[in-house]
Every structure is written in structure tokens, then in C-alpha cells.
């Protein structure tokens, strides 16, 4: 799935929407002390009152929020895994029997609770639904409406949520004219911040992909690897943050850990050009040959295929590894690069990095930023100086 696919299905989670129908919701309450199922209940989603529906729909939207490879991860299922989640979810999705559907989802809960102790009571929510994607009309004069022809995708979604203790409050009773202590013993289900979950199957190119599952982490750059491998039976992943760190280590190894800002700016520009030239490809990737080409085009000297492949082997133990280009490139048109010093912190975009230089003068280091206009600080226009000396009027 790409970000457009995710955005399209995410925005369908709203009330009275003909393009997304949720048939069943199944809630399972787990106690932290024993990691056992305390209670579970399945019912038609339409049987919930309007306020409850709204709470859950917002929860599902939050679950599917975030960037790919940062909070959302498309996983490929492991081959030949025991008690395979792919088979369990696929059978549950296709089942028309409510009891069979519940049994499949309880199998997934059992995998979640195996060797896992949660810090709080949790509620695991499963829904079974169908997503309808209209086929675009070829022209405005077509007599058939968009809703007369649609792709239909059945799916299963799971959202895992913490519970929290209710607040202890002091109330004022207008009738009795007295202050009263109010304490509710029932735990509150925090639907505003899911701690994990998944969507099965993935969707791409107007087709369902049952060989992949979309996993949602509770926090950015913090996927639950045990959940991915043991519960979902997904293959090992690299986050965008991991990819960026490995890429930087490879560049350091090839260049001797030293680059000037102009060269680094050229590296980012080359990668951005690669992304733009391959915009039809969902996830352009950088292998060792691409890294070699980028470095050579950026003006790095003494670059060879052998040197780059050796760096790949040394850093990641795989000279065939490929990075997602979008993972290693800071957001190109925003101030995504942070320059931190003891004196000041500066944010700058990759495309403007070429205007920043570190210079030496009289035994001291200076950070120099080329600007086209006068610099104004707190309303005062700075007087230009020539390398530490005031300019003569």
C-alpha cells in the first residue's frame, strides 16, 4: 500500500458512508493481572448507538494515521509459520458464521497473550467490513454513475487500546447545595491513542493483497517486533529511521566520515531527482550501484563499486540491500535538517544546505550562512562584517 491507498480507506471511516460497511464488531477485555480474557462480546456494528459508533470510527482513523515505515508498516507474511495468522485472518474474513468469526479472532487474541504481560487492562477490538472503491468514469457524459460500478474489498481491522482509571472529582450538587465526592469505578477505554493494531489485507492497484498486512505501531519509530514476528507472522522490517542510520553509516565509511555541506547537498539533490524521475514507482530504492552513482554525481572522490559494496557488507552485512529512497532523504522542501551547536540551533531544508558552510578564521570555527537579504534580529538590521571586521562605510 502507498500513502494514497491508506489515505483513501482511512477517510472512509465516517458515519452513514455508503463506501464502507462494518458488519460486525468484536470487543475483548483483557486483565493485566492474569493476561486472561475477562469478557468478550460480538454484535452488529449498527446496533451500537450513534455516539459509540463515532468513538470507534475515530479510533480506527487514528490507528491508520501516520507515515509508512515510521508508524505504519506493510508486512509480508512469513512462509510456513506455525499457526499462521494469514490463514486465520483470511478464513475469518471470508466466514459468514458469527461464531466461526469469533473463534478465529480469539485465536489471534491467544497469540497476542502468549508470553506477553500488558501493563494495563486492554481492550482488543476487531471489526469485519467491506470497502467499496468506485470505478472512475471515462468521461463526464457516461450514463452509469460511479456508484454503479465499484471494486469491493472485504477486510478485518484490529485496534488495541489501553484502559485508564477514571478521574476522582469533586462535584457541586445544585439541588442539595452541597459538595460531593464523585468516584466512578469503571475503567475508561482510551480510544484516542491506540497502542497497536493491523488491517488485513493490504490494498494496492485496486486489488486486495492477502500476502501482506498493514501493521500500526503505537508510537512513531517504535514498532513492536515481537508482535510483528510472533503474532502477525510478518517478516523482519527496517523502519525509515533504521534505513537512514544505516545509509549514513555507509556514506561515512565510503567518504571517511567527512563531507562538506555542498557535497551533502548534492547527495540529497541526486536522491530527490531519483525520486522525482521514478514518481510512478511506489517505493524507489537505492542499492549499492545507486549509492555509488549518487556519490560520484555529487562530487565525492575516490568512489568505486568495490568500496561501496564493502561498506554495505561491513555496515549491514548485505551488499545486495536496498534502501527506500524516501527513507534516507530528509523532507526536501521543509526545514527538516537540524544543525545543533552550543550557541544556536538552526533548521534548514536539504535544498538550501548548500548555503551553509563551516569556515576557519584566526584559529576559530564559524558557521557561515549565505543570505541574499539583510539579516534582522529582534527588529534590528545587522551591520555586515568582513570576516570578523566591520565593513568600512
Residue numbers of the domain that contains 290: 241-328
Summarize pLDDT for 150-187 with one digit per residue, the tens. 788 999 999 999 998 777 777 778 888 887 776 666 78
Summarize pLDDT for 249-262 with one digit per residue, the tens. 999 988 887 788 88
| In-domain check, residue 392 | no
| In-domain check, residue 324 | yes
| In-domain check, residue 363 | yes
Percent of the chain that is helix, strand, coil (3-state, to 5): 30, 30, 40
72 has pLDDT over 90: yes
| In-domain check, residue 386 | no
Asked if 126 and 158 count as a contact pair (C-beta separation under 8 A), the reply is yes
| In-domain check, residue 390 | no
Return the percentage of the chain with pLDDT > 90, whole number.
44
List the single range of 8-22, 103-117, 156-170, 196-210 with lowest mean pLDDT.
156-170
| In-domain check, residue 391 | no
Give the total number of structural domains in the chain: 3
166 and 49 within one domain: yes
| In-domain check, residue 107 | yes
pTM: 0.83
| In-domain check, residue 207 | yes
> Coil, helix or strand for 333?
coil
Taking the C-alpha atoms of residue 61 and residue 155, their distance in angstroms, rounded to an integer, is: 15
φ/ψ bin of 312: left (φ > 0), alpha (ψ from -120 to 50), beta (otherwise):
alpha
> Span 199-227, mean pLDDT?
92
Among candidates 91, 86, 117, which has minimal Cα distance to 103? 91
258 and 221 within one domain: no
Amino acid at each position: 500500500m502507498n500513502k494514497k491507498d491508506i489515505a483513501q480507506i482511512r477517510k472512509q471511516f465516517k458515519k452513514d458512508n455508503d463506501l464502507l460497511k462494518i458488519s460486525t464488531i468484536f470487543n475483548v477485555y483483557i486483565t493485566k493481572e492474569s493476561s486472561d480474557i475477562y469478557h468478550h462480546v460480538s454484535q452488529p456494528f449498527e446496533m451500537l448507538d450513534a455516539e459509540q459508533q463515532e468513538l470507534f470510527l475515530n479510533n480506527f482513523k487514528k490507528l491508520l494515521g501516520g507515515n509508512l515505515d515510521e508508524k505504519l508498516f506493510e508486512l509480508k507474511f512469513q512462509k510456513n509459520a506455525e499457526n499462521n495468522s494469514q490463514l486465520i485472518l483470511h478464513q475469518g474474513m471470508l466466514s459468514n458464521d458469527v461464531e466461526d468469526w469469533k473463534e478465529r479472532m480469539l485465536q489471534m487474541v491467544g497469540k497476542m497473550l502468549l508470553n506477553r504481560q500488558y501493563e494495563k487492562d486492554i481492550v482488543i477490538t476487531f471489526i469485519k467490513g467491506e470497502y467499496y472503491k468506485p470505478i472512475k468514469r471515462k468521461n463526464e457524459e457516461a450514463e452509469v454513475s460511479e456508484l454503479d460500478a465499484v471494486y469491493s474489498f472485504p477486510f478485518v481491522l484490529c485496534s488495541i487500546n489501553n484502559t485508564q482509571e477514571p478521574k476522582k472529582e469533586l462535584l457541586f450538587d445544585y439541588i442539595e447545595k452541597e459538595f460531593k465526592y464523585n468516584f466512578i469505578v469503571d475503567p475508561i477505554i482510551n480510544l484516542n491513542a491506540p497502542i497497536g493494531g493491523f488491517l488485513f489485507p493490504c490494498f494496492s492497484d485496486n486489488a486486495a493483497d492477502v500476502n501482506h498486512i498493514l501493521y500500526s505501531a503505537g508510537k512513531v519509530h517504535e514498532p513492536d517486533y515481537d508482535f510483528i514476528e510472533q503474532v502477525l507472522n510478518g517478516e523482519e522490517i527496517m523502519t525509515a529511521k533504521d534505513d537512514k542510520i544505516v545509509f549514513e553509516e555507509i556514506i561515512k565509511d565510503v567518504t571517511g566520515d567527512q563531507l562538506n555541506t555542498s557535497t551533502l547537498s548534492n547527495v540529497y539533490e541526486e536522491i530527490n531527482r531519483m525520486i522525482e524521475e521514478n514518481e510512478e514507482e511506489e517505493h524507489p530504492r537505492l542499492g549499492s550501484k545507486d549509492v555509488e552513482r549518487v556519490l560520484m554525481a555529487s562530487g565525492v572522490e575516490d568512489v568505486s563499486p568495490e568500496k561501496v559494496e564493502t561498506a554495505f557488507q561491513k555496515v549491514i552485512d548485505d551488499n545486495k540491500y536496498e534502501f527506500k529512497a524516501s527513507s534516507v532523504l530528509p523532507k526536501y522542501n521543509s526545514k527538516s535538517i537540524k544543525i545543533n551547536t552550543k550557541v544556536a540551533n538552526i533548521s534548514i531544508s536539504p535544498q538550501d544546505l548548500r548555503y551553509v558552510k563551516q569556515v576557519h578564521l584566526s584559529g576559530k570555527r564559524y558557521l557561515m550562512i549565505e543570505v541574499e537579504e539583510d539579516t534582522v534580529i529582534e527588529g534590528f538590521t545587522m551591520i555586515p562584517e568582513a570576516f570578523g571586521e566591520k565593513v568600512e562605510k
